[in-house]
Every structure is written in structure tokens, then in C-alpha cells.
Amino acid sequence: MRTLGGVVRTIFFAAIVAAIIAISARVAAQDNATQQNVPKYNIAEEQTIQGVVLEVKDYHCPVSGTIGTHFSLRTEHGDLEVHMAPAKFFKDYEILIRKGVDVSVTGNRVEFDGKPAVIARLVKIGRETFAFRDEKGRPNW
């Protein structure tokens, strides 16, 4: 025979499990919605853009799915956010991009989170060219 305390514990446990399932489903739905809004690289729409690096920063990026390295690029047509590669890729290959340098970015112009952006395949600084994607647009990381 069950006691009232045992029934209460069972109901409480069932409520907690139901809440965890509901929260997990909501998070999964949000992740799927975010993934659907993430722009994909399209080699057919590739272009080259010149400008000056305003700021370099690392943050979680849905394009790479990791902590990624990005920079703000000032062009003659306005500012863009350039998505390059995971920060680990930069560290592993000792790539350093500094504020104030002139760069040439080959990639896709996209709109991401309502702002103009570029998914970079190549970044050229002086005589150095950094390839973040191959000639078919697939990530090199």
C-alpha cells in the first residue's frame, strides 16, 4: 500500500521529467530554427571585397558552429562582419589579423541577423593569402 508521501513524490518526479522533456523540445526547436537561418556558402555567388579591418573578435558563430574568429570590415559601401573560421584554426595555424590592415576578402555576401556579412573563403593581406574554404566552398577546418 502506498502512502500519501509516496504518491506525492511520484507526482513530483513525473512533473519534473515532463518539464525537462518540454524544455528540451523547445531548445531543439529553437536550434533547428537557428540552423535554418544560417547562410550556406555558395561558390556561384562568390565575390571579392576590399576594405580595412576595424575590429577582430571571437564569439560563438552559427556559421562554423564553434567559437569563431570574425572581423568588422569597412568598405567603400559600408561595414560588414566577416565570418572566417573557428578560433582554434587560427591558433593552430598561427594566423593573426590586426586592426587597421587593408584586406581583400573573397567570399559570399549574406545577410545574417539582419546585418550585412561575408562568409570568407580567402582573406588576402599584403602577400599572404589565408584559405578558410577550399575551391568548392567547403571548410578547411
Band of pLDDT at residue 33, cut at 50, 70 and 90:
very low
How far is Cα 15 from Cα 94, in angstroms, rounded to an integer? 51
Chain segment 68-97, per-residue pLDDT in tens: 999 999 999 999 999 999 999 999 999 999
How far is Cα 81 from Cα 11, in angstroms, rounded to an integer? 50
- What pLDDT score does 62 carry? 86
Chain segment 8-17, per-residue pLDDT in tens: 677 766 667 6
| 103: Cβ contacts below 8 Å, ≥ 6 apart | 50, 51, 52, 53, 73, 97, 123, 124, 125
The pLDDT of residue 121 is above 70: yes
- What pLDDT score does 32 carry? 41
